[in-house]
Amino acid sequence: MKKEIRICGFGGQGVILAGFIIGKAACVFSDYNSVQSQSYGPEARGGAARSEVIISDEKIGYPRPIGIDIMAAMAQEAFDAYRGDLREGAIIIIDPDLVPRNDIGTPIYRVQVQKIAEELGNKIVTNITMVGALIGITKILDTEAVKKAVIDSVPKKFKELNVNAFEQGLEAGTNARPE
Amino acid sequence: MTFERDPVRIRRVLGDKVQFIQGDMAVAYGGLLAGCSFFGGYPITPASEVAEGMARLLPRVKGTFIQMEDEIASLAATIGAAWGGVKSMTATSGPGFSLMMENYGYAIMTETPCVIANVQRTGPSTGQPTLGAQGDMMQVRWGSHGDMEAIALCPSTVQECMDMTIECFNLAEKYRHPVCLMTDGEIGHLREKVVIPDEDEMDLFERVLATIDKDKFIPFSESQTRDSKVPDFPTFGSGYHTYVTGLTHNDKGFPATDKQPDHERLILRLTSKISDDREKLTSVEEIELDDAEVAFVSFGASARPCESAVWDARKKGMKVGMLRLKTVWPFPRDVVTKLSKKVKKIIVVEMNLGQIYHVVKEYAVKDCEIVLAPKVGGDMHLPHELMEYLEVSN
């Protein structure tokens, strides 16, 4: 098994943390190898940002993705900029409220992760909701391993909010169908 | 300055044994594990996370972090701390490494044990701050003026960022020499799994301190207490009278700048203390070389796509292997010469326009073809780009 995953959005949304959690779930709380890399502009906030994770049951040589198997986008600019290297049959997940122009002629998963986060009381957990949705859709990792990585990676006082975000994202993802 | 390395406290501060962290942070972890208690630095992308890590971690093990006014002062402070009796380090990237060259030479001349992590980015000048490169591989060897040896290690994984930082400290202490960890923006910002070694899984070389009678002590000669060209260390404040200068000095440490034999004797000792041990202190990894007809030679980040290319080539039935230089300086000459006698072609892969390529060429036998696979601009080679070098040769 080898999956190359890209999570993208705008700077400040927490796409790097989202990728970090998936990478950590894979190599610390599961038995895979994983690497996480990132690229972003000089701005601390705003601008397209992306976080990329490779998960493999074999040693990972070249540490950057060559063809994306799974892409999750949380901003239009990032969706437009970062989908040039998708593999055929790649799983695409977007939040239609954040990526309104998403009709690209292939089936994609649409999950309103920001809306879920807002209903939980804070849209800051949109990224964690997206991690849940991604795992629900792709089932690439054991959900308990990812939950452990979420708990391990967020401030203690926001543990409950983040776990809720993850679980609701997971449920939304599990129920989502590509259209 | 005194510091008691506390292995239990260090591990409590570092946290879980298995972590998913960036290469830069792993450098900071390696420093802590080695017993480093002083960091003098100036933040610079892509090395800033080393300073951030040290700023956060060092006070918790009773160490000292100082942000200096620039990189010249950063290495000066690091050298001063070493003379004060502790293990010390700094971290920087290209522009800062250029500023450090003056004090790098001073550390070599004064036989100061310390560690410099250079998280390389593209240059010249300020170049591409956020992107990785391997353009300082000759600067670390020859960037300071005069005749010298260099010790430089190149990590290819985040785990190696930690392990090699510990090794850098060991070599610095053993040879009383500034040792450089030549990592890069790619590995520095990459996150991977690291496993923090237990105390019994680590070998630490501790500084050999002067113990001889104070009136018989000679600070800059071969050791007076063991068979070594490296003198025992007279920590400032320990009562040993020592004069430390970057000028050519006699074995008492006093300037002796006008006679050829004094300088020759000093420089031959400073260089041969390292070159005598060259093959012993260098380390390489051999991958699929047993039956290889073509070999990649690489190091650091660029060894990653090389290894992928080796696997891809093997799947196609091509007899390809690679030699990964974990130590680049001193250059593992004998290993490269031996490899060149075995394979028909060597492809040197590096993120610059050709630096280590020339050294491989120097030590390879004449009938082995040596080809350069350069790349600049902040991106690593892609594995399939490297495959093309193989295909040309067939």
pLDDT under 70: residue ranges of chain B: 1, 392-394
Residue carrying the six token digits 């994202």: A169
Task: Let me know: does B107 contact B24? Beta carbons within 8 Å.
Answer: no
- Model-wide pTM > 0.95: yes
Tell me: do B47 and B182 sit in the same domain: yes
- The rounded distance, in Å, linking the Cα atoms of B385 and B394 is 15
Q: Cβ contact (<8 Å) for B189 and A37?
A: yes
Residue carrying the six token digits 């998913």: B20
Q: Does A28 touch chain B (CB under 8 A)?
A: yes
Q: Does A30 touch chain B (CB under 8 A)?
A: no
CA distances from B187 to A170, B47, B122, B183, B349 (A): 32, 11, 14, 7, 16
Domain boundary among B168, B201, B234: B201
Q: Does B308 touch chain A (CB under 8 A)?
A: yes
Asked if the structure places residue B44 within a domain, the reply is: yes
Asked if the structure places residue B140 within a domain, the reply is: yes
Residue carrying the six token digits 């986008």: A73
Which chain A residues touch B191 with a CB distance below 8 Å? 20, 23, 35-37
Residue B302 domain boundaries: 283-393
Mutate to test the interface with B, among A5, A55, A62, A85 (most CBs of B within 10 A): A62
Q: Cβ contact (<8 Å) for A62 and B380?
A: yes
- The rounded distance, in Å, linking the Cα atoms of B372 and B323 is 14
Give B208→chain A minimum CA distance, Å.
39
Main-chain phi, psi angles of B229, to 5 degrees: -80, -5
Facing residues of A65 across strands? none
Asked if the structure places residue B179 within a domain, the reply is: yes
Give residue A11's pLDDT: 87
Q: Cβ contact (<8 Å) for A28 and B189?
A: no
Give B156→chain A minimum CA distance, Å.
10
**Among candidates A36, A39, A61 on the partner chain, residue whose Cβ is nearest the Cβ of B191:** A36
Q: What domains lie within chain A, and their CATH numbers? A: 2-175 (3.40.920.10)
Asked if the structure places residue B65 within a domain, the reply is: yes
Q: Does B19 touch chain A (CB under 8 A)?
A: yes
Domain boundary among B186, B201, B216: B201
Angle at A15 between CA A11 and CA A21, to 5 degrees: 150
Asked if the structure places residue B330 within a domain, the reply is: yes
Q: Cβ contact (<8 Å) for B190 and A24?
A: no
**Among candidates B20, B186, B305 on the partner chain, residue whose Cβ is nearest the Cβ of A23:** B20
**Among candidates B191, B309, B380 on the partner chain, residue whose Cβ is nearest the Cβ of A64:** B380
Give residue B2's pLDDT: 77
The secondary structure of B318-384 as a DSSP string is: --EEEEEESEEES--HHHHHHHHHH-SEEEEEESSSSSHHHHHHHHS-TTSEEEEEE--SSPPPPHH
Tell me: do B161 and B48 sit in the same domain: yes
Which chain B residues touch A62 with a CB distance below 8 Å? 304-305, 307-308, 380, 382-383
Asked if the structure places residue B233 within a domain, the reply is: no
Q: Does A34 touch chain B (CB under 8 A)?
A: yes
Q: Is the pLDDT of residue A42 over 90?
A: no
The tokens describing A87, both together, are 């593999």
- The rounded distance, in Å, linking the Cα atoms of B316 and B375 is 25
Q: What is the CATH number of the domain that holds B327?
A: 3.40.50.920
CB atoms within 10 A of CB B279: 11
CA distances from B356 to A82, B275, B285, B347, B375 (A): 35, 18, 16, 11, 13
**Among candidates A34, A35, A61 on the partner chain, residue whose Cβ is nearest the Cβ of B311:** A61
Give residue B394's pLDDT: 45
Domain boundary among B172, B201, B230: B201
Main-chain phi, psi angles of A17, to 5 degrees: -60, -40
Tell me: do B23 and B168 sit in the same domain: yes
Asked if the structure places residue B22 within a domain, the reply is: yes
Tell me: do B186 and B290 sit in the same domain: no
Tell me: do B76 and B168 sit in the same domain: yes
Q: Is the pLDDT of residue A163 over 70?
A: yes
- The rounded distance, in Å, linking the Cα atoms of B128 and B243 is 42
Tell me: do B299 and B191 sit in the same domain: no
Which run of H or E residues covers position A50?
strand A48-56
**Structurally, how many domains does chain B consist of?**
2
Q: Cβ contact (<8 Å) for B383 and A36?
A: no
Main-chain phi, psi angles of B278, to 5 degrees: -45, -55
Which chain A residues touch B380 with a CB distance below 8 Å? 62-64
CA distances from B293 to A151, B167, B304, B312, B362 (A): 50, 32, 20, 15, 20
- The rounded distance, in Å, linking the Cα atoms of B172 and B179 is 5
Tell me: do B164 and B304 sit in the same domain: no
> What is the complex's ipTM, to 2 decimals?
0.96
- The rounded distance, in Å, linking the Cα atoms of B238 and B309 is 55
Q: What is the CATH number of the domain that holds B197?
A: 3.40.50.970
For chain B, the farthest-separated pair of C-alpha atoms sits apart, in whole angstroms, at 69
Asked if the structure places residue B270 within a domain, the reply is: no
Residue A45: band (very low, low, confident or very high) from pLDDT cuts 50, 70, 90: low
- The rounded distance, in Å, linking the Cα atoms of B278 and B41 is 30
